[in-house]
Every structure is written in C-alpha cells, then in structure tokens.
Amino acid sequence: MTFWSEPSLEPKRAFRYLFIMAGKSTKLATFVVKKVKKPGFEITESEHQFLNHTFYFPGKVKWKEIQLTIVDNVGGEDASAELMEMLTESGYVEPNINSAEVGKGAQTVSKLKANAAIGTPEIIQLNSDGAEVEKWTLKNAWIKDVEFGELDYSSEELMNITLTIKYDSAKLVTVNPKSDHPKPAVK
C-alpha cells in the first residue's frame, strides 16, 4: 500500500506545525516562528582493534541542538523584547561597575533558571484538519545562542532572529487522529 493510492493516508507536511515556548512570565508568540528544525540524535561509537580488525560498538545517545528562525515584529508581540526578558529570567544581570551593587552582576545563567524562563518547548505537527499528529517535547531546554539579525538598506525582507536551543532529551508522542489515542514513539 502506498500513500498516493490510498486516500485515507496523508503524508506529514512541513508547513503544518506549531512551536510553543512559554516560561513563567514570558512567551514567544507561536505565529512569529517561521522555521524550526526538529530534534535529532546521534549515537557515539567506541572502537576496538583486535589483530588486523577494527570493531565498532554503539555508545551514548547525544541529542542535537535545534534551530529556530523567528520573525521580529514591533508592538505587543516583540520577539526581541521577549528573548531579552528570557535572558534576564535565566539569571543574566547587566554589569554595572559604577554601582555599589557590583556583586549582583556576578550572577550567571543557570540551567534551572533558564529552563524556567523558556518552559518546556514543544513542536506540534498537524494534519490537514488541524489535528495534532506528532508532538516533540524538549526536556531541560535552554537557549544557547541568539542572532538578532542583520540590517541592510538594500533589503526588503522581514527581520529574522535565529535561536539555537540545547536540551537534555526529547520525547516524541504520535497521535492517530482517527483513534484519538496518543502513543509514545518509544516504549
């Protein structure tokens, strides 16, 4: 059976998704997310040499970072402002060496605060009816890198922000919209 000959089968489409990232007091609006890379992993290897042969053994699972491209906008859903607020909630304090409160600038970003600032990010893939068919949940996530874009007088493009998110692991749950029973992808 192939998907082009069976009318009840539908391939997943790259443009039907939602990305949700909401922390304690900040939230990145879902509609500003232009592109998101889904989670991936690699399995490290160990090499063993015996006489004239080399043997390989699977090692640890390492989850790959994900990248997002978001559109920055002016007004109530200002993505730059939300990201800077998430940085502050992650523990960053702007240094002020002329102040009596110099020691407060010595704080650093912590994983606990960073995770609380962005919440638990989710990538939700939808079918043609708008029903959820796949959900990735990123565990212990934090923002690793932000690029606020590039200004250019010769361009009419939208202002994009690129984010890199690091996380400990990801959980995939798939849903058959016809049965409405979610099932974890890994048992």
Query: What is the pLDDT at residue 25?
Result: 74
Three-class secondary structure of residue 36 per DSSP:
strand
Burial code (b: 16+ CB inside 10 Å, e: under 16) for 138-156 equals beebbbeebeebeeeeeee
At 29, the amino acid letter reads A
pLDDT value at residue 1? 55
Positions in the chain whose pLDDT score sits under 50: 187
The reply to whether 11 falls in a domain is no
Q: Please, are residues 48 and 57 in contact by the beta-carbon 8 Å criterion?
A: yes
12 within some domain: no
Spatial separation of the C-alpha atoms in residues 9 and 106, rounded to whole Å: 56
pLDDT value of residue 75: 72
pTM as predicted: 0.81
- Residue 127 included in any domain: yes
In a domain, 76, yes or no: yes
Domain ranges, residue 54: 17-184
* CATH number where 35 lies: 2.30.110
Specify the number of domains making up the chain: 1
* Per-residue pLDDT tens digits for 54-67: 999 999 999 999 99
Examine residue 83 and state whether it is found in any structural domain, yes or no: yes
Domain annotation covers residue 9: no
pLDDT attached to residue 26: 77
Q: Is 7 inside a domain boundary?
A: no
Asked if residue 8 is part of any domain, the answer here is no
